[in-house]
Structure 1
């Protein structure tokens, strides 16, 4: 039912607003706590690292629980995080409360996707997953830039207030609209873990990791990059996040349609942005505000479906283990966020933020290599099967 997909999408908006809402206010947080921008980046990288390290295990542990209860509990913790962060606690405590919801973030995503496709025809599953994942783009066009804009008017704490409100709305929707959904048949841990022995799944995991690393080496420092490399103030940055998100909503819808026809080509098409947009268009747009805005628009179009593409690409190699495969996609994607953010911060401190897109180029090429390798293996497998039949 589409209703379940839209509920999952609403919760995803709360999740993404909390995880990525700090991107637009990292410079303000760094100023407030008198720390460097790379240390402020820990608010993003620490969150992502916890997801990467615990995601699959938490998903396995909660796989037998009522799905409505799991989704409600996850969003409730996101709400508490936003409230505590609003009161500008000491930096160590701010990081600690940021980490708490990270334990259940992949659990929420995997459960929301499972709920969305649970009563649907298989041929519509990619489109329903696309609706859930559109929460990423919608957050980028609404709550994330709005929170950044509010922070630019008053102070960075108000960004966390917006995050709390979004989480509260999602919490109410899950409680009031979603029915109780107990798990009728729990899969054994062994049946799910066995996908880790499949070469195509391992390669798909590596592709996911490299692709997200490529994008987040620059995107994690979106505000800092536009401030220093493009000379934009905080208000202009919020407008750019708004543009980024509007185009992202369209991109997710298009990607959902394209994935239903060809998963590999769709993933490769959107991945090309790490090679074309980030190091080339962003670099050559220097000195021209119009060209910079166009480059950011194309960047938003090609970046926004990255999590949808990564999850769909990985799940396509393990269709019978949707929840566990997606939790691994979320974990390795967030490991990519951690590495991309860390390398991006190192580049800023060592050299300058304008060089960050070249990190994206390197990891983007590695991701494309993984796509080519998986396609080659699958082609050989088909030839062997055809020969033996």
Structure 2
């Protein structure tokens, strides 16, 4: 495997950490900047919204820039965003910093994935891309819990200081180990959006959107949820986030295996149903630490096991535009994250944290409805063909 692949994985790990790290720092930031937890939660929303809209736009604008050079530019902007986060005197400046981080992060992750595919042979291309996604998922497993602990002991600003240092190390690695990579032809945004006229494709994209909306309605506010319902310490919350993340990595493998064994439609329908049940059971699971950990494991596993099945379904539903659908799915996913975090912020300000879990579970059920509709369209198409 080319050494540059591992450098790209490190870069995506750093970028992914910044995206989700706010979930473990909500109370700390809210207290320091004198705003509510729900308001701080909007930092996740604005990040995901800028990522969703910015990724296709920025990639199109920079389509003629050599890829290593583009990565270095994006990582430089990313570093500046972290510095601004560290020195933010108020919520408004921190919000601006998040916009800068999201814009640069979108370029880092998308370019890392496409670059990985272009610097290795076709025989190991899948494994190379898999390593990049391991960097992203590892940020959830290790980055968020580690950032939470650092924030508790040294202040939330030091978490961004650590990410800033890691971004500089990533840049040095890119300079030393990553070769120059010529840009690939870009696809106009209008052409990308036009593919959504297909009802089956659109309904599959809505699965990701609704699933992540429901998931982040509660996940973004998991720390205040655990504090208010069980009075857990920061250490125990970090352990809970770590367990959730490890379960997520296992879920990715289970989702891929199940897709190969039973097919995408069956896997999606079953996993969405189990995901909805696990989220709805979360308020009940707070009766004991053991039941909580069991539900967190199930929730983490099911929430991150759906991506392989969804990608497989998109590839089969849109054989001629599979690459476009992967990019659009990334945008649909981040819009879902943004909406879920915003909705969760409104709910937690007006009601108890338990309400977030109930609403999140209901939205996941809507994703199940979208999945059933999509696969019914496929059945009709097959029936007409026969």
Does the alignment reach a TM-score above 0.5?
Answer: yes
Query: Map of 1:167-182 to 2, 5 A cutoff?
Result: 167-182=167-182
Change (3 A) 1:130 1:342: same
SS of corresponding position for 2:328? helix
After TM superposition, give the deviation of residue 154 of structure 1 in Å: 2.0
Q: TM-score, normalised by structure 2?
A: 0.89
Query: Map of 1:186-335 to 2, 5 A cutoff?
Result: 186-187=186-187, 192-260=192-260, 262-280=263-281, 282-305=282-305, 310=310, 313-321=313-321, 324-335=324-335
After TM superposition, give the deviation of residue 224 of structure 1 in Å: 0.8
Q: Quick one: distance in 1 between partners of 2:41 and 2:161?
A: 20
The answer to whether the 8 A contact 1:12-1:132 is kept is yes
Q: Quick one: distance in 1 between partners of 2:89 and 2:309?
A: 37
Query: Map of 1:130-149 to 2, 5 A cutoff?
Result: 130-149=130-149
The answer to whether the 8 A contact 2:63-2:185 is kept is no
Q: TM-score, normalised by structure 1?
A: 0.88
The answer to whether the 8 A contact 1:130-1:252 is kept is no
The answer to whether the 8 A contact 1:19-1:47 is kept is yes
SS of corresponding position for 2:65? coil
Count of residues in Structure 1 that have an aligned counterpart in Structure 2: 384
The answer to whether the 8 A contact 1:74-1:108 is kept is yes
Q: Quick one: distance in 1 between partners of 2:246 and 2:75?
A: 24
Q: Quick one: distance in 1 between partners of 2:125 and 2:264?
A: 13
After TM superposition, give the deviation of residue 260 of structure 1 in Å: 4.9
Q: Quick one: distance in 2 between partners of 1:309 and 1:133?
A: 15
Q: Quick one: distance in 2 between partners of 1:338 and 1:184?
A: 29
SS of corresponding position for 1:68? helix
After TM superposition, give the deviation of residue 223 of structure 1 in Å: 0.9
Q: Is the counterpart of residue 60 in structure 1 residue 60 in structure 2? A: yes
Q: Quick one: distance in 2 between partners of 1:70 and 1:243?
A: 35
Partner of 1:78: 78
After TM superposition, give the deviation of residue 104 of structure 1 in Å: 3.9
After TM superposition, give the deviation of residue 313 of structure 1 in Å: 4.6
Change (3 A) 1:93 1:185: closer
Change (3 A) 1:185 1:351: closer
The answer to whether the 8 A contact 2:63-2:184 is kept is no
More helix by share: 2
Task: In structure 2, list runs of 5 or more residues that go unmatched.
Answer: none
Query: Map of 1:146-185 to 2, 5 A cutoff?
Result: 146-183=146-183, 185=185
The answer to whether the 8 A contact 2:252-2:307 is kept is no
